[in-house]
Amino acid sequence: MTRERWIEVGRILVTGLVALLYWRQLVPVQVLWAAVALGLYPLVKTGLLDLVRERKIGTEVFVTVATLVAVFNGESVAGAVLMVIILIAEFIAELNTDRARASIKALIGSVPQSALVRGPEGERSVPLGELRPGDVVLARAGEKIPVDGKVGNGSASVNEAPITGESLPKEKLEGDPVFAGTVVESGALDVVTEKIGGDTTFARIIALVENAEAEQAPVQKLADKVAAWLIPVVFVFLIAVYLVTRDVRTIVTLMIFTSPAELGLATPLVIIAAIARAARSGVLIKGGIHLEQLAKVDVMVFDKTGTLTANKPEVVRVEARGDAVPGPELLRLAASADRRSAHPLAKAVVGYATRQGADVPEPSAYEQIRGRGVKATVDGKAVLVGNPALLRENGVDVPDAAESGGETPVHVAVDGRLAGVVFIADTLRPGAREALARLKATGVKSIVMLTGDNASTARAIASGLGVDDVRADLMPDDKVTAIAELRGEGHRVAMVGDGINDAPALARAEVGIAMGGGTQAALEAADVALMTDDLAKIVAARAIARRAYRTIQENLFVGVGVVHVCGITAALLGWIGPIQAAILHLGPDVLVFLNSVKLLRVRIDDV
């Protein structure tokens, strides 16, 4: 309750009290007119500002005209009571909307305004605004981390739900990133500050959620347009009714039910609640327009590497060629030769050999050959690890290059002879198959995979996922073209990628969804950003979007359509008067509000 709110309460009480006294014939009509003028002041002010600045006739103008018509045509008490009830309705609507916005911040969380900093002079409490990058901040069990940074010392279990939406805490060790707004469940950390205040991931999430309300959904824009052209139609209708009935009470009653106020309330609160609910689940939706489009998507397009796959190559099998070098020895020699290489395939070989318990010694000689592989000496043996071209260039006979759909063959030669092949494949992202199946269950008609990989590898990955269409050997421009073709066929397309390499394709789709793991690139690259690389978050975002769109439809149909049609009918039949209409007018406001804010808490499947 702000000072302005208390002034509004006082205005309502004074106007209502004077109306009651006039009804009991305790004050003259002039006092009632003064009270009505006092009550109408904020409505007239808002109505005129909207009319001048936005060329919009809003509900305030309706209420003002209805009140004045009633007061100056012998219905003074009805006019005053009508105005008081409308003021109460407006007050409740504004108060509840403010509370809903406040509950969004509470739902997401908050960041401490001070931090315990360790310096040469010891530990001291410092206001957040005085922190600088490089400061070492202490975070102990039960406390919220106030900055973005890296763990400099210590270990702890950290609840990252405000950022990622994940309920299970993560173990943080030296060098691991941590985020402001997350909670240390157990242990203690020395955090080296990297970002503070508005630069933190948490602050960016809050800003995105708050600013998203400004990005109107198409249905919201439609409601505003309908309200704009409805007003002149309503005035013509009221004039026609008056010419037929000559009944001022009926006109005042009809003005209450023909007000377009609920059209303006039907969507914004739903958008606020849905975007906040998504943010709490680790999904950032950057506006109502993207929320509605996500609800209507019928084709989901996925990049392969790093999206459907984990982009972590793993050895799937080792094949020895001939009896000269057995499988375990082949793996040991290959891993030793690859030990100094930073190539992802080399890391996969070394990691697999280590897990198998193999001894992986340092090579005595090592050379990395760009685009080919490595040449090394291990235990006095000349070892080549790479593609067939590397072996042939070094005089090794490779009769037929090994091939396997979906797997990358790494050829190994020992002392000038082909010894065997290590097969490596990218692993599917955990839960990918289930996520795609659940998306189809929500009405997605087709799943398309786009990749720059060769067709055999792409088909092998897609075969186990339930993908409907595979397009391989694509350059970034080809992905944009593929999405344009799908949209040209009349489909509503969402593109899921890593938020960096797929940026052109993300921008071309109706909805771009970035897999980001909470990085700044993911926040900036797309319309929807996932705070973790979890495909289930896409299912959750889709479920929230569909529920929000359905809620908007309910608001428009029940809260606006049914109630207003019934009210207009009752007024034309003479069943109700202005006072009853004003009381009933509260119904749509309450229904719309309750139906909207339930999105913050109600259970939604797949979320």
Distances (CA, A) of 455 to 304, 326, 447, 505, 513: 12, 32, 17, 20, 24
Q: What is the dihedral of CA 139, 143, 144, 148, to 10 degrees?
A: 0
- Active-site pick, 148, 303, 453, 498: 303
Q: Is 339 left (phi over 0), alpha (psi -120 to 50) or beta?
A: alpha
* Residue 374, Ramachandran bin (φ over 0: left; ψ between -120 and 50: alpha; else beta): beta
Spatial separation of the C-alpha atoms in residues 351 and 217, rounded to whole Å = 49
Rg over alpha carbons for the chain, rounded to the nearest Å, is 33
Return all residues near 369 (Cβ < 8 A) that are at least 6 apart: 375, 386, 390
With both helix axes pointing from N to C terminus, report the angle between 536-554 and 218-245 in degrees, rounded to the nearest 10. 10
Q: Which of 501, 544, 496 minimizes the C-alpha distance to 300?
A: 496
Structure tokens at 432: 């990918």
Active site residue 533: no
8 A C-beta contact, residue 228 and residue 518: no
Question: In whole angstroms, what is the distance from residue 153 CA to residue 418 CA?
Answer: 48
- Residue with structure tokens 């099998």? 317
CA distance 202 to 163: 7
Give CA–CA dist 513/535, Å, rounded.
Answer: 11
* 302 phi, psi to nearest 5 deg: -120, 135
Q: Spell out the SS3 assignment of 356-384.
A: CCCCCCCCCEEEEECCCEEEEEECCEEEE
Structure tokens belonging to residue 300 = 């989901």
Active site residues: 303
